[in-house]
Structure 1
Amino acid sequence: MIEDQTSNKNFLFPSNSIMTILSGGRFAAAGTILQTYNSNGPGASATLSSASGPFTCGVLPDGSVQSYNSVTFIAIKSGGFTSAGTFLGGVAPSSDVCSAGCAIRVAAGIMLSTADLNGVMTLSINSIYISLGATLQLGTPGSSNGFKFSSAIILHIFGQMLFVASGGNIMLPPNSNFDIAAGGAFSSSISTNIQIFNPLTGLNIGSPQILGTSITGGTFTLSVGESGSFQLNGTAAAVSNNSSSNSTGGGSSNSTGSAS
C-alpha cells in the first residue's frame, strides 16, 4: 500500500513515467491528482477514482497522460514484446505482474513485435489495443508455427496487425475477440486463418476461419463464446466471405491445438 499524506493530493511526474497499482494493491487516496510537469510547469493530469487496484497512469513522452483501471503496459518505442525498452517506464510484461491479467496498448507510430515470443503468448494478457497509426507484428518471421494465445484475449485493432509467420494459424481460445475497427487493417503475405482451440485439451474446435491476406475497408469482428462457438459481424468483405460458408462454429476436431 502507498499512502498519500500530501495536503493537496497532487503528485507530479515527469514524462516517461508510469505508476501501476496491482490487483489487491491500494493507494489509499481516491481523488489524488496525478499530473505531469516540465520546465514550464504542471501539465495534463488524471484523477485516481478508486483507492484500490488495478490501476495504471502513464505520462507519455509527449506529456500526455493516459490512465486505465487495469494493469496496462504501454509500448512507446518500436521493439520486441520482451524488451524492457519497448514499454513506458522501462519494464516489460512479466508472469508475476500479469498473474491477475494485464492489458497492452501500442501507441500511435509504434510497431510492437511478438517475434521474441516464439509463436506463443503464455502471459495472461486480457487485451491488446493497437492504436490508429500503430502496428502489431504477430508471429515470428520464417516460422511455420503461426501464433497461439494461451488464454482468452481481446484484440482491438484500430491500427494494423501484420501476420509475419510463414505458415500456421492464429490460435484463439474461447471467450476471445478479434476486432478490426473502421480504419484498422489486417495483412499477411500468406493466406491466414483463425483457429479456435480448447486450452485444456489442446484440441481444435471447429474449422479454421479464413482471414486471407488482407482485411481493409470496413469492420470485422469474430467473437468466440465460452463453448468455442463464434459469431462474425462487420462490414468488411471478409465477413461475408466467411459467413457464406460458416457463420457460427462449434464442436471439436481430433487435430491438436498447435498453431501449425
Structure 2
Amino acid sequence: MLTGGGFSATGSMLQIFHGEVAGATFTVSSASGPFTCGMLADGSIETYNSVTAIAINSGGFKAARTFLGGFAPSADICSGGCGVQVIGGVTLSTTDLNGVLNLKITSITVAIGAIFQLGTPGASTGFKFKFPIKLSILGGMSFVGSGGYIMLPPGSEFDIADGGEFSSSISVSIEIFDPLTGFAIGPLQALGTLISGGTFTLTISASGSVTIGGT
C-alpha cells in the first residue's frame, strides 16, 4: 500500500495456503499507507510499515523477477520513499544501476545468509547513493568494482550487525558528498577490504559530520 493509500477493511485476516493446507496468518491493522505485507514461499509472512520491495530471487536491482510479486523499485513507486529487504539465500546485484542509485530508497536491509553486491565489476567509478539511506547488513555486502568510492550523502547510515560482513577485493572508502554541488565533504572514511567479527556503525549527520562505532 503506497503512501496516501488506504484499506477500508481493517481487521481482515490474510492467510497463506499451500494447496489445501492453511499456513501463516496476518491481521491487517493499518488503514493507511505506507504498508507492505509479503507472503513468502516458505510460508512465512513479512510486514513493513513502509513501501518495501522484497528480493526473493538472486538478480539485478531493476529486474522484476528478482522481487516478490514482480515489484521492482521504480521512480513512481518510490517517489515518497521505499525500502528494500533482501531475504536469506538471495544475492542482490546493482550492476544494472550503472554505478548510481537515483531512486528515493531510504533503507536496504540484508538478512542473514543474503548478499548485497555493490558496484559494477571492472568499473572504476565506484557507486553513488543519490538520496540518504540506511544500510543494515546482517548478512554480507561486497563491493565488486575495481576502483572508486562508495558515495553517501548526509543523513545516511551504514550498519553491520554482529555476524554480518563487508568485503572488497580492493581497499575501498566511503566518500561523503554534498547532493547540491556533488563535491566531497570532509575526509574519506576507510573501510579497507574486510569488516567482520563484530559490529560496525558509520553515521553521517545532516551537516556531513561522521560518527563511527562498533565492537
Match of 2:208 among 217, 228, 236: 228
Aligned to 1:142: 122
**One-letter amino acid of the structure 1 residue matched with residue 176 of structure 2:** I
Structure 2 partner of 1:203: 183
Partner of 1:105: 85
Tell me what 2:60 maps to: 80
TM-score by length of 2: 0.98
- 1:53-132 counterparts in 2 under 5 A? 53-132=33-112
Q: Which consecutive residues of structure 1, in runs of 5 or more, have no partner in the other structure?
A: 1-20, 236-260
How far 1:200 sits from its partner (Å)? Answer: 0.9
Q: Secondary structure at the match of 1:143?
A: coil
Please report how far the alpha carbon of residue 132 of structure 1 lies from its aligned counterpart in structure 2 after TM superposition: 0.3
Given the alignment of the two structures, is residue 35 of structure 1 paired with residue 1 of structure 2, yes or no? no
Query: Does the 8 Å CA contact 1:104/1:127 hold for their aligned counterparts?
Result: yes
**Equivalent residue for 1:255?**
none
| Secondary structure of 2:187's aligned partner | strand
Q: Write the distance in 2 (CA, Å) between the matches of 1:200 and 1:28.
A: 41
Gaps of 5+ in 2: none
Q: 1:185-237, CA deviations, whole angstroms, 9 ceiling, x for partnerless residues?
A: 000000000011110111110010000000000100000001000100101xx
Once superposed, what is the RMSD of the aligned Cα atoms?
A: 0.8
Q: Following TM superposition, by how much is the alpha carbon of 1:29 offset from its aligned partner in structure 2, in angstroms?
A: 2.2
1:102-149 superposed Cα distances (whole Å, 9 cap, x missing partner): 100001000000000000000000000000000000000000010000
Deviation sequence 1:141-191 (CA, Å, 0-9, x none): 000010000000000000000100000000000110000000000000000
Secondary structure at 1:85 match in 2: helix
Measure the CA separation in 1 of the matches of 2:146 and 2:154. Answer: 25
CA distance in 1, matches of 2:206, 2:10: 35
- The one-letter code sitting in structure 1 at the alignment partner of 2:135 is L
1:70 CA drift (Å): 0.5
For the pair 1:191 / 2:191, whether they are aligned, the reply is no
- Percent identity over the alignment is 61
Secondary structure at 2:96 match in 1: helix
Q: Does 1:174 align with 2:162?
A: no
- Please tell me whether the aligned partners of residues 148 and 171 of structure 1 are also in contact (alpha carbons under 8 angstroms): yes
Aligned length: 215
CA distance in 1, matches of 2:26, 2:173: 41
SS at match of 1:193: strand
Is the 1:104–1:128 contact (alpha carbons within 8 Å) kept by the matching residues of 2? yes
Q: How many angstroms apart in 2 are the aligned matches of 1:58 and 1:38?
A: 15
Q: Give 3-state SS (helix, strand or coil) of 1:207's partner.
A: coil
